[in-house]
Structure 1
Amino acid sequence: MQTQAVIDHIVGWLKDYAATARAKGFVVGVSGGVDSAVVSVLTARTGLPTLLLEMPIRQKADQSGRAQAHIEDLKKRFPDNVQGMSINLTPAFDTFAATVDVDEADYPAKQLALANARSRLRMVTLYYYGQINGLLVTGTGNKIEDFGVGFFTKYGDGGVDISPIAGLLKSQVYQLAAALDVSQSIQSAPPTDGLWDTDRTDEQQIGATYPELEWAMGVYGWNTPEDFTGRQREVLETYTRLHQAMQHKINPIPVCGIPPALLAP
């Protein structure tokens, strides 16, 4: 990959899109992970106003620490156009969780629903600050998450205006991170969505590593799990199941077509 050329291309694309949309700049949610770190540097490099939001919800100290340190680093590197804020959403989430509380024995999907609610609360916050400042909500999903296994929340972190790195594999995002001088603490941190009270890495939740998923994405459609054995078969089975299940997240909302004869007066 021509890393510097890719960086320049994305930065130029961001500037052009903002101009076409008549937006002042960008707002990015910074989590302490590599994807949001890369996106935030790319938006900062446009020279346009860039607002970085850390939005902790019962967040682990190491995640918040990395996010805050990254924001401070970018404010120093781009003092003319980067601002940062920390918006503690824990009280709002706790109130919501208490208001909709149900017995988990009766509703086994409760914890997953609450995890997704965290992501959706952050989306609402990003759009609030985006709207009052005239900024585009900028997505941080990569190609594997957004188009491979659907590892994002519908109308949560999937609710954005633009997606600058959704055409890049996770390994390519890491290449950009190194070229953009993202801190080593972020580059070496195990990927996690940070939506649970317990530590759950992406690999633990998905059942495969990102390199394995990149391999599966490459062979999917050309091969079936039955063409492989052992770990490769397991990974392709996982990828196939998740890819098929994610279609509702990326396809247009189904609209019921009404026969014209039924609409006639």
Structure 2
Amino acid sequence: MKTEKVIDYIVNWLKDYATNANMKGFVIGISGGIDSAVTSTLCAKTGLEVLCLEMPIHQAENQVSRALNHIEWLKSNYKNVSSEQVNLTPVFDSLVKAFPTVENEEDRFMALANTRARLRMTSLYYFAALEKYLVAGTGNKVEDFGVGFYTKYGDGGVDLSPIADLLKTEVYKIAAELGVNQDIQKAAPTDGLWGDNRTDEDQIGASYPELEWAMKMAENGKKATDFEGREKIVFETYTRLNRANQHKMQPIPVCTIPNELKK
């Protein structure tokens, strides 16, 4: 990958899109992870206004510290960057208390994890509306179009997706070129929705390089029967998630009424 040219291409794409939409800049949620660090830096390089939001909800301390360190690094290098810390923990706790209890606690945990992402999306759009900003998405290609590892109308609710055509390994190359803090580059990827240190690999059952391999194999028409051992497990994991999460990747289905029924 021609890393420098890819960076320039994305930065110009971001700037052109915002200018043509008559928007002042971008707002982005900073999680302490590699994707939001890269996306926010690319936005900052446009020279347009960038608002970084850090929105903890019972967040692990190391995630918060990485996010705040990155924001300070951005602000020290780009004068067009500002920030706000919005503590959503009490909002989340109040919402949990308002919900009825359920029998299956595991289902409740998953629903509440996604609720965290949706509270953050709501906050991003609040500031976007106030300041005439675009909400910049942080999803990469494997998450957005491979396994659907994001929350529908949560971190999937954005105005534009600058790194959604980059594989996770390519995002790391961009991060290295941009000089993103080493603590972020070395941290294990996590969605930060559980209040602990579980990683994306813990949840998915495969690493991003493995998922990228499986994505390529699927695009080449391979099937699970073509593999054995770990490769077969990874491929089956990828295809299962890809199939289950098509509802996130496809347009919302519309019930089209036949013309004869409207007459």
Task: State if a TM-score over 0.5 links the two structures.
Answer: yes
Q: Which blocks of at least 5 consecutive residues in structure 2 are unaligned?
A: none
Amino acid at match of 1:188: K
> Which residue among 139, 148, 163 is the counterpart of 1:165?
163
Q: RMSD of the alignment, in Å?
A: 0.9
Q: Which residue of 2 aligns with 1:27?
A: 27
Note the 1:60-99 alignment, pairs <5 A: 60-79=60-79, 81-99=80-98
Q: Cα deviations across residues 52-81 of structure 1 (Å, max 9, x unaligned)?
A: 0000000011000000011011111012x1
Deviation at 1:101, TM superposition (A): 3.7
Deviation at 1:106, TM superposition (A): 4.2
Q: Is the partner of 1:212 in helix, strand or coil?
A: helix
How many residues are aligned here?
262
Q: State how far apart, in whole Å, the 2-side matches of 1:215 and 1:101 are.
A: 42
Q: State how far apart, in whole Å, the 2-side matches of 1:35 and 1:245 are.
A: 23
CA contact (8 A) 2:23 2:132 kept: yes
User: Once the two structures are aligned, what percentage of the paired residues are identical?
Assistant: 58
Amino acid at match of 1:86: Q
Deviation at 1:252, TM superposition (A): 1.1
Q: State how far apart, in whole Å, the 2-side matches of 1:20 and 1:197 are.
A: 39
**TM-score where L is the length of structure 1:** 0.97
**TM-score where L is the length of structure 2:** 0.98
Deviation at 1:198, TM superposition (A): 3.2
Q: Which residue of 2 aligns with 1:48?
A: 48
Q: Which residue of 2 aligns with 1:39?
A: 39
Q: Which stretches of structure 1, 4 residues or longer, exceed 2 Å deviation after superposition?
A: 105-108
CA contact (8 A) 2:59 2:196 kept: no
CA contact (8 A) 2:57 2:195 kept: no
Q: Is the partner of 1:36 in helix, strand or coil?
A: helix
Q: State how far apart, in whole Å, the 1-side matches of 2:155 and 2:5 are.
A: 27
Amino acid at match of 2:258: P
Deviation at 1:107, TM superposition (A): 5.7
> Which residue among 156, 172, 191 is the counterpart of 2:189?
191
Q: Which residue of 2 aligns with 1:155?
A: 153
Deviation at 1:250, TM superposition (A): 1.5
Q: Which blocks of at least 5 consecutive residues in structure 1 are unaligned?
A: none
Q: Which residue of 2 aligns with 1:211?
A: 209
Q: Cα deviations across residues 93-132 of structure 1 (Å, max 9, x unaligned)?
A: 00001111413x3464110000000000000000000110
Q: Is the aligned partner of 1:130 residue 2:125? A: no
Q: State how far apart, in whole Å, the 1-side matches of 2:106 and 2:13 are.
A: 43
Q: Which residue of 2 aligns with 1:252?
A: 251
